[in-house]
A = this chain, B = another copy of it.
Amino acid sequence: MSAGFKETRTVDQVLNEAIKYVRHRPGVIEVPISEALYRYLAEDVVARFDVPGFNRSAVDGYAVRSIDTFGASPTNPITLRVIGFMAVGDEPGKFALNPGEAVEISTGAALPINADAVVMYEDTRRSGDYVEVLRPVPPMGNVSRRGEDVRAGEVMFRRGMRLLPWDLGVLASMGVYRVRVYSLRVAIISTGNELVEVTDVPQEGPPPGRVINSSRFVIEGLVKSLGFDPVYLGIVGDDIDRIAKTVEDAIKGYDAVITTGGISVGRVDYTIKAVMKLNPEYVNHGLSIRPGRPNSIAVVNGKPVFMLSGFPVAAATGFDVLVRPILLHMVGGEDEPRPVVKGVLTRRVSTPVNTRSFVRVRVYLGKDGGVYVEPLALTGSGILSTLVRGNGILVVPENREGFDEGDEVEVTLTRPIYRENA
């Protein structure tokens, strides 16, 4: 018996293959925009009307007929009669300018009828009911034009776009209160005879040999962080038929399935055997990443079944390279930019060639003001706490066998850079 996988394909190969088989599209729900944050639009959104809906002042000052100001200068000011004040919220019809008249106006207020420009306070001198204009203003000067922000008929949002805080504001200003977004429901199944739920653990810890099911919470959190909806289905023991039945039901009821555990080679590959019974259109057992070599994927009825390692760090790595891109593909979403930083490696990192390695690191600001990167990962996929103690991940690509001490490396930051010294 060998611990090696028959074939551990590169991550990119597996993704390209698997995605072709993922034909299922997730459900769509209509929600108020205040509940749509970080979800993905399931429709294009087209503007019904212009925003702003009227010409409005971009400054505090005096609304004028621009023609009345031509030739004005500090030494030769033009005097206009002030006939009133336009506040924000006033209707444009509140005033209509005759030649030689002006209306004092607030930023954001509608221009009165016949006004086509605004002179800023700075370019005026007020005196009772009159104002001296010290500088000419061109037509539409200091005016925010109707439709300047959003034009009626314009496609402002595309399907698949992830809604960020200011997007909600733009949707509101377009008069859109409810939007159709994807509800991608991901079933999570934990497998393993050793697992106990955290709610069932006595004060002194689990019995010897047993392990608290922690991966479930990591996976739930990662699914949520993408804006998708995790549904935890519980622990299933190491029993191929029971795992197969649970996964089969989950495929019927949800848009995607994530299992943990039971995918090593040899005696403990219950999950992969169970999923093989479901006649998958596609299956790949093992990935050339470290940690996380056992992470696997199948596609059943057009839906992805991700089989992740029972070890939480390996499962998290599998989520990042395998689950995330495929779930994003299902909603037409794009990978978001991540914070990265360059720093100097404090210790050599050795990794296997032809393997993409994910090394947990601690990034800190040295006494000399330089950024340093200290590798943390030790005996591999079991050490979940390195993700708490560390604040970054160093990715070593397939074509390298590591980095040397002193090398400048680029690290993805998961938390702020430590300020104290090493």
Contact = CB atoms under 8 A, between A and B. Distances in A.
Interface of A: 1-3, 33-34, 37-38, 48-54, 56, 58-61, 85, 87-93, 106-110, 120-122, 126, 144, 148-150, 156-157, 162, 164-173, 175-177, 192-195, 198-199, 201, 203-222, 224-225, 232, 238, 264-268, 310-313, 316, 334-341, 379-380, 382-385, 387-388, 413-417
A31 to B, nearest CB: 13
Contact of A122 (B2, B173, B209, B334): B2
A87 B169 contact: no
How would you classify the secondary structure of chain A's contact residues: helix, strand, loop or mixed?
loop
Contacts of A204: 48-49
A384 B337 contact: no
A211 B52 contact: yes
Given A3-B59, A264-B107, A382-B144, A166 B221 contact: yes
A419 to B, nearest CB: 9
B193 A156 contact: no
A193 B3 contact: no
Contacts of A50: 205
A206 B169 contact: no
Given A37-B225, A417-B337, A205 B175 contact: yes
Given A166-B218, A172-B213, A218-B169, A156 B388 contact: yes
A204 B264 CA distance: 60
Nearest to A265: B60
A268 B88 contact: yes
Contacts of A193: 87-89
Contact of A176 (B198, B316, B413): B198
Nearest to A336: B416
Contact of A384 (B122, B149, B221): B149
Given A89-B193, A109-B194, A172-B216, 15 more contacts: A2-B122, A3-B61, A3-B122, A37-B221, A48-B204, A88-B268, A107-B268, A149-B382, A164-B221, A165-B224, A170-B388, A172-B217, A173-B214, A177-B198, A338-B339
Contact of A3 (B120, B209, B336): B120
Given A87-B238, A339-B340, A341-B337, A385 B170 contact: yes
A122 B416 CA distance: 41
A171 B217 contact: yes
A134 to B, nearest CB: 14
A1 B121 contact: yes
20 contacts: A37-B224, A53-B208, A60-B265, A88-B310, A89-B211, A91-B207, A106-B264, A149-B385, A166-B221, A166-B312, A166-B316, A169-B215, A170-B385, A172-B213, A175-B212, A177-B199, A336-B415, A337-B341, A337-B415, A339-B339
Given A339-B337, A380-B58, A92 B169 contact: no
Given A217-B168, A218-B166, A221-B166, A264 B379 contact: no
A164 B414 contact: yes
Contacts of A87: 193, 238, 267-268
A241 to B, nearest CB: 17
Contacts of A387: 166-167, 169-170
A143 to B, nearest CB: 9
A165 B208 contact: no
A311 B177 CA distance: 19
B382 A205 contact: no
A337 B413 contact: yes
Q: Which of A166, A338, A379, A417 has the most CB atoms of chain B within a 10 A radius of its CB?
A: A166
